[in-house]
Amino acid sequence: MLSLIRGNCFVGGDMNSVEQLTEVWRKHLKQFVFARTVNRTVVKSGRTADFPPDHVTERFAKDGISIDLSTEAESILGKARAITVLVSSRWGHDPENHWLFGRFLMRSMQLAVGRRDVLLVASASAIEPWAVRAAQLNDAMLLRVGFDQPASDRVTDIQVHSGSRDSIQRDEGIIMMADRIDASYVRRGGRIEHDLNRCMKQRSGVDVQVAITNLADCAAKRLVERGANGCLFPRLFDSGMEGDSWPDSAPVQQLAPVQALVHVKSSCADCSQVNPADSCQSGDANNNNWFEEGGEWLVHCTRASRGKWPDETIGQYRDTVLTGNRDVAKRTALDSLCRIVHTSQILASAIVSARKYPVVCWSAVPLLELLQERCFRKHLQRWDYEPYGVAVRRRAISNLGAQPVIYGQKKEMDEIPENERYRFQAAGKSVDWTREQEWRLAGNLSLQALNPRDVRIFSLDSAATRVRLKGIPWELTRLKKLETSRSDHSPSVGLSEIWKAV
């Protein structure tokens, strides 16, 4: 097969062409690392430097750059038409962003397969696990590249060693090995943006593709201005609050007016009416005031899922995001509640407890009082309580093994018997967690194990709520928004809201 190097592009091949490719990689990496060293020296000394091209070869004549290929890598590179590199800033924890960036990644895979490109990804980079799985799903040729790291540290197909005091960083190194670069997300002011700018400046022939979103910190538009090709991926989910959602993140210092909630009369399980004013009022007269029965009910508020569901593995989550439609990324507090209702099960997690003790958490504080004092926890980047969830009679869940939390100092946990440690919670210093009056149940809770009269479902009132929670076997209490003003509570406590029953 004909073996050529056309400009910066590798067109392959056989073993001879693979050797030519590694020589091109060495040249580009040497230029990149040397230019970085020179720039650092110039900045430090304040002088201007103009080194001839031969100086690059002279600088690395003794130590040089070595590139080691596995047998599999040699075979795959011998079939390549060109090299496409995948890079990305960290995707964060938002499932909506994961799905959005996953669309671009899957598109990159499909195009590479059609062009017979070999894909490269840096070992231990943010995008590596996503890229590896996407390549498997598309039967794409992908190789992992390690830079100045022991071979035992990571599973790699290509090892690059600089042989100098200036080690090659994985992002800058992988970028300089590309004919084409696909960047699924580039954070403004981050290392990826910096390295892409340097690459486009030093290698005019490289093709840089970057996904454009309207995320505030997306650097794509700036990169396009410098010569990259943009692929428009608008934000597919409105950041504003819609009828079926409630904000799960906001600053504590929120300005008036804020949202308060008013209770809408509960409806029986088989109520088919849609208008809240026409809600069915059948059943026990106390049902509509269950949340005012002090000490009778324990409350479990759902929240948006920041990633996988409790019963998903990380592999299953990636597959869902990469292959599913946009609905798979909808993991709001209402979605979490609907999942509980449709499976009749609340899954245990270890978000607030020690990881070895997954639990279902409850609060003995009455619902309206609990929501009145809800606040945004900066360290968790979420509200502590949402107006969605499940309430159960204390007596009923106590019979299943739920018990109050044991509050104390961290050092006191070892004094508790092993089978009781799932109940331990540090009392807190900056925040008094004892105010939550928490209860815990070890393991999952099947709602089918409870009498339906001992269960209440509550949710912010919306058209989506009335459709998605229609016909459930438990009484539904809908909550309605009301405008009010902000009280003068301490910022350390958080946002205070007025809640009423009508």
Q: Which two tokens stand for residue 146?
A: 């390690």
Does a structural domain hold residue 37? yes
pLDDT tens sequence across 487-496: 444 444 444 4
What mean pLDDT is predicted for residues 5-17? 50
Q: Which of 232, 251, 283 finishes a domain? A: 232
Structural domain for 341, as ranges: 259-304+335-501
Does a structural domain hold residue 64? yes
pLDDT tens sequence across 165-182: 667 889 999 999 999 999
The three-class DSSP label of residue 260 is strand
What mean pLDDT is predicted for residues 275-281? 38
Does a structural domain hold residue 447? yes
Report the sign of the C-alpha dihedral through residues 197, 321, 347, 373, in that order.
Answer: positive
Q: Which of 214, 232, 250 finishes a domain? A: 232
Q: What is the rounded CA–CA span in Å between residue 143 and residue 83?
A: 10
Q: What is the rounded CA–CA span in Å between residue 376 and residue 249?
A: 7
Q: Which two tokens stand for residue 468?
A: 């998605």
- In the block, residue with structure tokens 């979605």: 335
Q: What is the rounded CA–CA span in Å between residue 87 and residue 171?
A: 7
> CATH number, domain at 170?
3.40.50.450
21 CB neighbour count, 10 Å cutoff: 25
The pLDDT, as a whole number, for residue 492 is 42
What burial class does residue 186 get, using C-beta atoms within 10 Å of its C-beta: 0-12 exposed, 13-18 middle, 19+ buried? Answer: buried
Asked if the model's pLDDT at residue 409 lies above 90, the reply is: no
Report the Cα 64 to chain-centroid distance in Å: 39
Does a structural domain hold residue 217? yes
pLDDT category of residue 262 using cuts at 50, 70 and 90? low
pLDDT tens sequence across 284-310: 434 557 877 777 999 999 988 889 998
| 263 and 224 belong to one structural domain | no
Asked if the model's pLDDT at residue 443 lies above 60, the reply is: yes
Asked if the model's pLDDT at residue 455 lies above 90, the reply is: yes
The pLDDT, as a whole number, for residue 48 is 43
Does a structural domain hold residue 461? yes
Asked if the model's pLDDT at residue 282 lies above 60, the reply is: no
52-61, 322-331, 389-398, 440-449: the lowest-pLDDT one = 52-61
Does a structural domain hold residue 58? yes
Contact call for residues 164 and 60 (beta carbons, < 8 A): yes
The pLDDT, as a whole number, for residue 166 is 67
DSSP string, 218-239: B-HHHHHHTTPEEEE---SS-S
Q: What is the rounded CA–CA span in Å between residue 439 and residue 468?
A: 29
| 298 and 435 belong to one structural domain | yes
3-state helix/strand/coil string of 74-100: HHHHCCCCCEEEEECCCCCCCHHHHHH
pLDDT category of residue 243 using cuts at 50, 70 and 90? very low
The pLDDT, as a whole number, for residue 289 is 74
Q: What is the rounded CA–CA span in Å between residue 118 and residue 74?
A: 11
Asked if the model's pLDDT at residue 227 lies above 80, the reply is: yes
Asked if the model's pLDDT at residue 417 lies above 80, the reply is: yes
| 224 and 300 belong to one structural domain | no
Among 244-253, 288-297, 395-404, which range has the highest average pLDDT? 395-404
Asked if the model's pLDDT at residue 263 lies above 80, the reply is: no
What single letter denotes the amino acid at residue 91?
Answer: W
Q: Which two tokens stand for residue 228?
A: 């990259």
Asked if the model's pLDDT at residue 316 lies above 60, the reply is: yes
| Total number of domains constituting the chain | 2
Average pLDDT of the chain, as a whole number: 78
What mean pLDDT is predicted for residues 2-29? 65
Q: What is the rounded CA–CA span in Å between residue 412 and residue 265?
A: 45
The three-class DSSP label of residue 294 is coil
| 216 and 289 belong to one structural domain | no
Q: Which two tokens stand for residue 492?
A: 């350390």
Q: pTM for the whole thing?
A: 0.79
The pLDDT, as a whole number, for residue 349 is 86
| 85 and 170 belong to one structural domain | yes
The pLDDT, as a whole number, for residue 28 is 87
CA dihedral 237, 241, 244, 246 (to 10 degrees): 110
| 267 and 364 belong to one structural domain | yes
Contact call for residues 138 and 132 (beta carbons, < 8 A): no
Q: What is the rounded CA–CA span in Å between residue 13 and residue 215?
A: 41
Partnered with residue 85 across adjacent β-strands are 120, 181
Q: What angle do CA 249, 252, 254 make, to 5 degrees?
A: 95
Does a structural domain hold residue 201? yes
| 353 and 393 belong to one structural domain | yes
The pLDDT, as a whole number, for residue 164 is 64
More confident residue, 134 or 57: 134
Q: What's the chain's Rg over C-alpha atoms?
A: 29
Q: Which residues are CB-neighbours of 250 under 8 A, at least 6 positions away?
A: 376, 383, 495
Q: Which of 197, 232, 267 finishes a domain? A: 232
The pLDDT, as a whole number, for residue 372 is 80
| 166 and 266 belong to one structural domain | no
Asked if the model's pLDDT at residue 11 lies above 70, the reply is: no
| 224 and 362 belong to one structural domain | no
Q: Counting every residue, how long is the chain?
A: 502
What mean pLDDT is predicted for residues 115-132? 96
The pLDDT, as a whole number, for residue 269 is 46
Q: Which two tokens stand for residue 41?
A: 């020296």
| 263 and 167 belong to one structural domain | no
Q: Which two tokens stand for residue 164?
A: 């100098």
Q: What angle do CA 262, 268, 271 make, to 5 degrees?
A: 100
| 456 and 406 belong to one structural domain | yes
Report the sign of the C-alpha dihedral through residues 371, 373, 377, 378, in that order.
Answer: positive
Does a structural domain hold residue 237? no
| 205 and 279 belong to one structural domain | no
